[in-house]
Amino acid sequence: MPSLKALSLYLLSTVGGALAATTIPETDYDAIVIGGGPAGLSVTSGLSRVRRRTLMLDSGVYRNDPTRHMHDVIGNDGTVPAVFRYLARQQISRYNATTSMKNATVTSVESINNGSYYKATDSEGLEYTARRIVLGTGMKDILPDTPGVKEGWGTGIYWCPWCDGYEHRDQAFGILGGLSDVVGSVIEIWQLNQDIVAFVNGTNTPEQQKALANKYPNWEAQLEAYNVTLNNETIVSIDRLQDGSDNNDPAEDREFDLFRVNLADGTSIERGAFITNFPDAQYSDIAQNLHLNMTGTKIQVAANMKTNDTGIYAIGDANSDGATNVPHAMFSGKRAAVYIHVELGRQESLAAIGKRELSHRELEKEARRMIGNDLDDLWKRAREMK
């Protein structure tokens, strides 16, 4: 049976080793934020406020850039996206003693020493190191090649009723996308628009009908009740007849875009605006190259915005927590900032303990704190050993 002295020496050496093993790697920054949209700006602001050494690398590509104005963002309703980003950068720059913001496209992120720290490389070959990486890299919408869709994207053709719907309320309205998503779109926009044509572009097929029925068993009756017209003709092109940027009523918050949908059968239908159901994808391939877990097209995260690589966080549209809007992006960035700051602080606390010259009594006290009641159980099992 091992002696109490031997067991104590073993436990103390284990604790001493654990404390000494907690070291802080030397890096350029505490955190590197990849992406300069609302999510990236939010986490950068949060980290800056607690004087974390932070670098934000911004590619200059933003999902909401085509839209005329941001909406449903408290205190910034109606703000031009570029103005919002400019003001955010100006405010964050007050903390430039610890924070830097740079226009650069990150091409790769590498985990060093099993996640002890990370190295980011930009398109010019410059390298930066940090203890934590935050991916605010966003999503990209996969738009069809139909002439007129890309040209009208964000300016009368949009995917979010909260972002652009109110300004186009009570207008002749269209839905673009597959049949299986039509009912969901009708439910979302019915309070705003009730003259609806769903342009399903040849997708009214048995397969799509089955997929729709799985979600809405009474879909045909629902569309009939809302007097929605299903048009299955192939869309040849969409022409803009009027631009809401020039034709609007600021006093009433109304924008009057006008489009003509040209169909393969030679007919055409005019609509004031459209909601879309097009696929999306990660804007950056960094998550894929890091082998991060995915949920569909989104980077899988826990409630603290952490990915399966515990030193990498994902925020904003790119992550899997189920929302794609500016308030969500800002919230997710703030949450990540808090968790990163506290997590790094805990590491630094343990490292500080490891640097101390602990007395025998202090080591024993630390052993009991770290191991807790398991110490008594371990001693009991040791006494029973033959």
DSSP for 124-153, please give it. Answer: TS-EEEEEEEEE---EEE-----TTHHHHB
Residues 284 and 136 reside in one and the same domain: yes
Q: What is the pLDDT of residues 36-60, one digit of tens each?
A: 999 999 999 999 999 999 999 999 9
- What digits encode the pLDDT tens for the residues 268-301? 999 999 999 999 999 999 999 999 999 999 999 9
At which of 276, 301, 327 does a domain end? 276
Specify whether 74 is located in the same domain as 89: yes
* Neighbouring-strand partners of residue 127: 121
Whole-number Å distance between alpha carbons of 145 and 149: 8
Judge whether residue 6 has pLDDT over 90.
Answer: no
**Amino acid 23: pLDDT:** 85
Q: Range of 125's domain?
A: 29-141+280-349
For the segment 161-190, what is each residue's pLDDT rounded down to a tens digit? 999 999 999 999 999 999 999 999 999 999
Q: Which residues contact 193 (CB under 8 A, 6 or more apart)?
A: 165, 168, 169, 170, 171, 172, 173, 273
| pLDDT for res 360 | 58
Clarify whether residues 260 and 284 are in a common domain.
no
Per-residue confidence band for 322, with pLDDT thresholds at 50, 70 and 90: confident
Of 239, 255, 276, which residue sits at a domain end?
276
Within a domain: 21: no
The pair of three-digit structure tokens given for residue 71, joined into one six-digit string: 């909406």
pLDDT above 70 covers a percentage of the chain that reads: 86
Residue 319 to residues 164, 301, 337, Cα–Cα distance (Å): 23, 6, 15
Could you please report the per-residue DSSP string of 295-349?
A: ETTEE---TTSB-SSTTEEE-GGGBSSS--SHHHHHHHHHHHHHHHHHHHHHHHH
Q: 3-class DSSP state for residue 377?
A: helix
The mean per-residue pLDDT over the stretch 260-267 comes to 98
CA angle 379, 385, 386 (to 5 degrees): 150
DSSP β-bridge partners for residue 32: 55, 133
The answer on 133 and 222 residing in a single domain is no
Token look-up 């899988």 returns: 300
pLDDT at 385 over 90: no
pLDDT confidence tier of residue 358, bands split at 50, 70 and 90: low
pLDDT tens digit sequence for 332-351: 999 999 999 999 999 999 98
Query: How confident is the model at residue 379, as a pLDDT?
Result: 44
If asked whether residues 73 and 220 sit together in one domain, one would say no
Q: Which of the residue ranges 9-23, 79-93, 207-221, 331-345 would you say has the lowest mean pLDDT?
A: 9-23
Task: Examine the domain organization and report whether 57 and 128 are in the same domain.
Answer: yes
- The Cα 143–Cα 158 span in angstroms is 11
Do both 226 and 124 map to the same domain?
no
CATH number, position 68? 3.50.50.60
Pair (219, 294) in one structural domain: no
Q: Which of 276, 307, 333 is the last residue of a domain?
A: 276
Q: Are residues 181 and 117 in the same domain?
A: no
Q: By CB neighbour count within 10 A (0-12 exposed, 13-18 middle, 19+ buried), where does 211 fall?
A: middle
Q: Are 303 and 271 in contact (CB under 8 A)?
A: no
Task: Give how many domains the chain has, as a whole number.
Answer: 2
